[in-house]
Structure formats: C-alpha cells, structure tokens
Copies of this chain bind each other. A is one copy, B any other.
Amino acid sequence: MSFSPLINNLIESLRCLPGVGPKSAQRMAMHILEHDRARGTTLAQALAEAIDKVGQCDTCRTLTEQPRCDICSNAKRDERLLCVVEQPSDVIAVEQSGTYRGRYFVLMGHLSPIDGVGPEQLGIPQLLVRLQEGGTEELIIATNPTVEGEATAYYIAEQAKPLDVSVSRIAHGVPLGGDLDLVDMGTLAHAFKGRTKFS
C-alpha cells in the first residue's frame, strides 16, 4: 500500500536531494501538497531554470549563468593572487571570511583516479596556462584538508614549480573557538609543525 502514482513519483524524485531519506521525502511531499503548493511551483521553476541556464565561468570554472562570474569580471580584485579551491561553495566560504581580495580558480572536485577524475577534469591544464600568461604572483592552494585534497594540492604545487609563481597552502591547525582536547591528533600535529613566532 502506498500513495497515488503521482505522489509516489514525487516522493521518489525528492530522494535525489542529498540527506533526504524515504521518511523526509514523504514529509516534504505531503507538506508541499497540503500546505505550500505556491512555493512548490516556485521551487519546480527555480530548479528547471537553474539546471537549464547555470554553466561554468570561462575564467575560474565556478558555477554561474553568465559567461564570466562576478568575481572574475570585477576589475577591483587583486590580479596578483590566485586561490585554488575545490567547490563553488568554498569560494563563498573564503569570501565570507572577508580576508581575501584576489581571484579564484575552482577545480569542481579533487583528483580521484578511481572515479576517473584526473587533472583534465579539474581544469589543471587551464590553470597552468593562466599561470604561464603571467600576472599571478602567488598561487594559494585552498583544497580541503582531506587525503584527496592534499594529493590535489601536492600535484598542483609540483606542476606550478617550473613557473615564475610563488605557491602556498592555507594553514591547518586548531580551529578558533575549538577545545584543544577535542581536536584530532592529525590536526594537532599540523598545528605544532606549523607554529609561528609571537611577534
């Protein structure tokens, strides 16, 4: 026994959303059909329009519906700094920190040979061409502090070595507001290795 075909179809389709299991999908479908059809229609349209029109920025590869994203077309950004991140949401996170005013390059993933993701898929040749064209003084690699993120960072650093650009990696250590005894050993080891002098 289950709902009518169209409702079942909606419940099943909602499960493509990450973190949505059978119970939440059912709750979402019921909520929309019982209480919120207008916003459900808006969602259907927003989804269809974004899927249809959002592509990648020609320059930095982030997701945008324009040929060039806002940051890449902003003449006030510092051309000398280029920050490499894995995802478009990482760009937003760095922007929200408010400390960085340079440019970005978005890999849209990390090296993962087992999934068929190599340098080509991450646009690394495009990144190297951009570095060769000059103008970039420092390449800041801000991939995630995971095994894959570290491997990707290492690969990019190696590839950029022969070029006339300084390559750096963002610091890993104890997060602000974190309790020292709740931080994992790897992070703590990083925090000690990367210690800086009081000035």
Contacts and interface: CB of A to CB of B under 8 A. Distances in A.
A63 B34 contact: yes
A158 interface: no
A53 interface: yes
How many chain copies? 2
A26 interface: yes
Given A13-B46, A27-B19, A34-B63, A1 B41 contact: no
A17 B25 CA distance: 9
Interface stretch (A88-96, A126-134, A175-183, A187-195): A88-96
A24 B14 contact: no
Given A1-B92, A16-B40, A51 B63 contact: no
Nearest to A109: B34
Interface string A13-48: 110111100001011111111101101111111111
Interface of A: 1-7, 9-10, 12-14, 16-19, 24, 26-34, 36-37, 39-51, 53-54, 63-66, 69-70, 87-89, 92, 95-96, 108
